[in-house]
Amino acid sequence: MGRNRTWIAAALVSATAVGAVLADSHAKSSFAAGIKARQAHMQLYSFNLGVLGGMAKGDVEYNAEAAGLAASNIVHLASIHQPQAWAPGSDNSANEGTRALPALWQNFPDVGQKSAELFAAAEAMKAVAGDGQAAIGGAMGRLGGACSACHKAYRAPEN
């Protein structure tokens, strides 16, 4: 009878431990879709900035239509409201595969201000995208600076 109690106790402890691990794993994985969405969003920014940056540097032949589309895409990306992708707790301290620092959620007024500047810089780029390589080059500093401001403050460096 003593052995049965020992086995039952061991089974209960094991079940509790497995349950806790699964619950922790589920909590972390509940952010996976949001993290993936915001990373895809950032890749779209990067792709469109690459089009504009390539033209600004002269690495890619200037094309007014392509520049306008890329700038318009950035404006649209900057205007997307996606709080589900930025849920509290989805930072790099609790989730693998993200570089978002916990400080992002601790400084929402600053994040909002940086987001507003990104939108304004994107609008400014859109306004001049059809005006030639020099105009794009002039607007790239502000746009790139708006991206960098948030990344420097709220994104961990690559390993």
pLDDT in tens, 85-125: 999 999 999 999 999 999 999 999 999 999 999 999 999 99
Q: pLDDT at position 28, please?
A: 53
Q: pLDDT at position 159, please?
A: 79
Kindly state the average pLDDT of the residues 75-86: 95
Architecture of domain 32-154 in this structure = Up-down Bundle (1.20)
Using CB atoms within 10 Å of the CB of residue 23, give its burial: 0 to 12 exposed, 13 to 18 middle, 19+ buried.
Answer: exposed
Q: How far, in Å, are 27, 121, 157 from residue 89 at the CA level?
A: 9, 29, 19
Quick one: how many helices (H) and strands (E) in the chain? 6, 0
What amino acid occupies position 62?
Y
Q: For residue 110, what are its two tokens?
A: 């600053």
pLDDT top residue among 89 and 28 = 89
Q: Would you list the domain boundaries of the chain?
A: 1-30, 32-154
Residues contacting 83, CB < 8 A, separation 6+: none
C-alpha to C-alpha distance for 155 and 141, rounded to whole angstroms: 20
Residues contacting 91, CB < 8 A, separation 6+: 98, 100, 101, 102, 104, 105
Average predicted confidence (pLDDT) for the chain: 88
